[in-house]
Amino acid sequence: MTPALELADLRKSFGKTEIIRGVDLSIGKGERHAVIGPNGAGKSTLFNLITGRFPQSGGSITLHGTDLAGKAPFEINRMGLSRSFQITNIFPKMTVFENVRCSLLWSLGYRYNFWSMVGRSRALTEGAEEILEQINLTARRDLPAGVLSYAEQRALEIGITIAGGADVIMLDEPTAGMSHSETDYIVDLIRTVTTGKTLVMVEHDMGVVFGLADQISVLVYGEIIATGTPEAVRANPKVQEAYLGAALEDH
Amino acid sequence: MTDQSTTNASKSAQGVRAGSMMLALTPWCIAAVALLVLPFIFTANSAITIMNQMAITIIFALAYNMLLGQGGMLSFGHAVYAGVGGFACMHIINNDAFFSQLPLPLLPIFGGLFGMGLAMIVGSFSTRKAGTVFAMISLGVGELIAACSVIIVAFFGGEEGISGDRTYGLPFLGVEFLQQIEVYYLIAVWLMLSAALMYLYSRTPLGRMANAVRDNPERAEFLGYSARWVRFYSFVASGFFAGIAGALFAINYEILTEENLNTTQSGIILLVTFLGGVGFFFGPILGAIVFTLVQTVLSLQTELWGFYLGIVFVVTVMFFPGGLAGLIMMHVPAMRLGKLSVLALPYLRTLGAGFVGCLGAAALIEMVFHVRHASVGDHEMTVYWTTFDSHTVLPWVLAIAATVVGFWIARATAPSLAAAWSEANTADGGQP
């Protein structure tokens, strides 16, 4: 079976500084894969390379067997990969409902349509309402997204990310800046909405990582030093030395 | 911006949908009736000229707002799309063989297509980026095409422009459009049609994504939409309706000159749109109505109308970025609470005093202008239908008193207005 996402010798330099230094990674269909690593390890850069935000300097990224080199974010999205952002990235002036509805438009085949009314499409309205139900924002439906609480905005961001029906979901620190109870809530939410999908996430919170992921990769200074099940990674002496030592003692 | 036409209560959905449909159609019906009867109320030829001008400006401003309000693109050269559409129509009018087979009411379609064609060419490179890059390119292209008017004389007619006679077209239902009133109804029909189409456009997937790209182009890209193509389509659609406005201008005035293309004209449409308010669909309509009235009526009263307009524009940008439409919509929460009446008296006090202050200040400005610029020995001037000698003391005392007292009362009562405002926006029971 072709892996959902495969990185081979992926490299990225900004000027002379090499941020990603040859990453090989294979993520199978339906896998929940977490990328962890200390600050500045290049986790977000890795995400931005995969989603086409930056061009890579070397190596290849393949999504379902198709090379992504030179593809723009919108083209990658149309191939079934969707992402959230570390800093909340929604449409703050539009209502919560419209945020979700916009994220459904392309996947429901509306493309650059300028002859049908969005308000009259049952599929759009019901689809958006279903997503709102899943992320528990039905009551906030008609509010401008910008006035939601931080945790609600994060939930909305996840809703927008999954709405298009992409089968590879990438979440960049979905619980950053959240309280404990909010974190638990978002983790449950992620687990429900990504059922049956491939999940790739960057996360700092070890509780979240060990609770959600089937596979963990540890990225240190632009290289993956270990990949495996949470238990294997936890037991890996290289990982403990490089990064996890302190963090693991807490768990 | 919000879409009220959907509801999740499935049982009453149909009823609510029908109800909101009625509600949504009401303003359109009122507008249609108003357009129909206005010429019977304002029968003077000059009034009809003003209304024609107004309707053309409304279409142009709405088209401009497809860019500025809906798509978040600030264009400094949008007059060229209207202008080129208008010039193209002038050439069609002057092409006897073709024009004699074409009913005049269909001419705006050609104007639209030419505006759209130009927008497609320019948009293909200008919409790659929004923001400053887009604004600069629009300014450059605007200057470039305006400069072409003296270079490509065959198309733009040099300094005299291009003129023609609209009545040579194929008579339409026996109408030859000799009279202003016939042209008025032609323009009115196109106004309703264009406004409705532009409104509906904002409800289509592309129209919604124009908003999304305006707010957050990066996010839109990660939803499968190319921000650049969304901008391009908005730009092209806007060019089309601008071209229609240009064609109607050609029909109404039967002449187009460089003035229809230049950056002054582009600046005016930006001003009109912003004054009316970019955040609401009806904003540019208000802006166009107010601006045309100021331009035509106030300019008869004073040479300084542009100066006052400038002040109003600066005040709008600084204090009411939502424009006139924003000012009106600000009152919706209070209206929903049924507490609009709380504001009546404080408004009367503060705004009334402020108005007197403005009148006083305007009188002062007019008097200074008259003293400085009237020919020697001409001491007689007229302000507010009162004729007096500008070199006597009394008018100055009165004007200064009105200014000072008016603004002073406005300032002194401002806190009570603010209190009334928060009172009007608070539901009884304390919850805001």
CA distance B418 to chain A (A): 24
Lowest mean per-residue pLDDT among A91-105, B77-91, B156-170, B188-202: B156-170
- The per-residue pLDDT for B11 is 41
Together in a domain, B190 and B80: yes
Residues of chain B found within 8 Å of residue A73, distances taken between Cβ atoms: 218, 221-222
Distance between CA A237 and CA A172 in Å, rounded?
26
Helix (H, G, I), strand (E, B) or coil at B366: helix
Other CB atoms closer than 10 Å to residue B100's CB: what's the count? Answer: 11
- Cα B265 from chain centre: 12
For residue A99, give Cα distances in angstroms to A57, A131, B216, B239, B399.
34, 11, 11, 28, 54
- Side-chain half-sphere of B206: how many Cα atoms within 13 Å? 23
Given B8, B215, B225, which is nearest A106 (Cβ)? B225
Helix (H, G, I), strand (E, B) or coil at A8: strand
pLDDT digits (tens, 9 = 90+) for A164-195: 889 999 999 988 888 888 888 889 999 989 98
Together in a domain, B282 and B348: no
- The per-residue pLDDT for A98 is 93
- The per-residue pLDDT for A214 is 92
Residue B3 lies in a domain: no
Residue B8 lies in a domain: no
pLDDT digits (tens, 9 = 90+) for B142-197: 999 988 888 888 888 888 889 988 888 888 888 888 888 899 999 999 999 999 99
- Residue that wins the pLDDT comparison between B404 and B374: B404
Of B247, B191, B239, whose CA–CA distance to B71 is shortest?
B239
A248 and chain B in contact, CB less than 8 A: no
Residues B80-93: what's their mean pLDDT? 94
ipTM for the predicted complex comes to 0.89
Is the pLDDT at A216 greater than 90? The verdict is: yes
- The per-residue pLDDT for A243 is 66
Residue B429 lies in a domain: no
Is the pLDDT at A128 greater than 90? The verdict is: yes
Q: What is the CATH number of the domain that holds B56?
A: 1.10.3470
Structural domain count, chain B: 2
Q: From the CA atom positions of chain A, what is the Rg in Å? A: 18
Q: Tokens 């007197």 map to which residue?
A: B356
B25 and chain A in contact, CB less than 8 A: no
Together in a domain, B232 and B294: yes
Of B265, B254, B62, whose CA–CA distance to B146 is shortest?
B265
pLDDT digits (tens, 9 = 90+) for B188-205: 999 999 999 999 999 999
- Structural contact between residues A137 and A193, judged by C-beta atoms closer than 8 angstroms: no
Structural domain span for residue B372: 332-424
Instruction: Work out the pLDDT band at A38, boundaries 50, 70, 90.
Output: confident
Q: Which of B325, B357, B389 is the last residue of a domain?
A: B325
Which neighbouring-strand residues pair with A12? A20
Instruction: Work out the pLDDT band at A251, boundaries 50, 70, 90.
Output: very low
Instruction: Work out the pLDDT band at A245, boundaries 50, 70, 90.
Output: low
Hey, what are B217's tokens?
């182009």
Q: Which of B301, B325, B349 is the last residue of a domain?
A: B325
Mean pLDDT across chain B: 88
Whole-angstrom distance between the N-terminal and C-terminal Cα of chain B?
Answer: 22
Residue B7 lies in a domain: no
Hey, what are B394's tokens?
């009394």
Residues of chain B found within 8 Å of residue A96, distances taken between Cβ atoms: none
Residue B16 lies in a domain: no
For residue B19, give Cα distances in angstroms to A127, A129, B23, B349.
23, 21, 6, 39
Together in a domain, B251 and B160: yes
Of A27, A23, A25, whose CA–CA distance to A4 is shortest?
A27
Together in a domain, B315 and B361: no
pLDDT digits (tens, 9 = 90+) for B285-302: 999 999 998 888 888 888
- The per-residue pLDDT for A244 is 55
- The per-residue pLDDT for B8 is 42
pLDDT digits (tens, 9 = 90+) for B308-338: 888 988 998 898 889 999 989 988 888 888 8
Residues of chain B found within 8 Å of residue A78, distances taken between Cβ atoms: 224
Hey, what are B121's tokens?
């060419």
Who contacts B420 (Cβ-Cβ below 8 Å, separation ≥6)? B342, B343, B345, B346
Residue B184 lies in a domain: yes
Is the pLDDT at B4 greater than 50? The verdict is: no
Q: Which of B325, B356, B390 is the last residue of a domain?
A: B325
* Domains, chain A, with CATH or none: 5-249 (3.40.50.300)
- The per-residue pLDDT for B288 is 95
Nearest CA in chain A to B228: A74
Lowest mean per-residue pLDDT among A26-30, A98-102, B9-13: B9-13
Who contacts A94 (Cβ-Cβ below 8 Å, separation ≥6)? A102, A144, A145, B1, B211, B212, B215
Give the best residue of A54, A88, A91 to mutate against chain B (max B CB count within 10 A).
Answer: A91
- Structural contact between residues A173 and A200, judged by C-beta atoms closer than 8 angstroms: no
Together in a domain, B215 and B199: yes
User: How many residues would you count in chain B?
Assistant: 432
Q: What pTM does this model have? A: 0.89
Together in a domain, B242 and B101: yes
Residue B260 lies in a domain: yes
Verify whether the Cβ–Cβ distance B211 to A110 is below 8 Å. no
Residue B431 lies in a domain: no
Together in a domain, B288 and B339: no
Of B127, B285, B305, whose CA–CA distance to B198 is shortest?
B285
Residues B109-120: what's their mean pLDDT? 96
Of B248, B237, B195, whose CA–CA distance to B88 is shortest?
B248
Residues A14-26: what's their mean pLDDT? 91
Together in a domain, B163 and B312: yes
**Percentage of the residues of chain A whose pLDDT score is greater than 70:** 96
Together in a domain, B268 and B358: no
Is the pLDDT at B9 greater than 70? The verdict is: no
Instruction: Work out the pLDDT band at B245, boundaries 50, 70, 90.
Output: very high
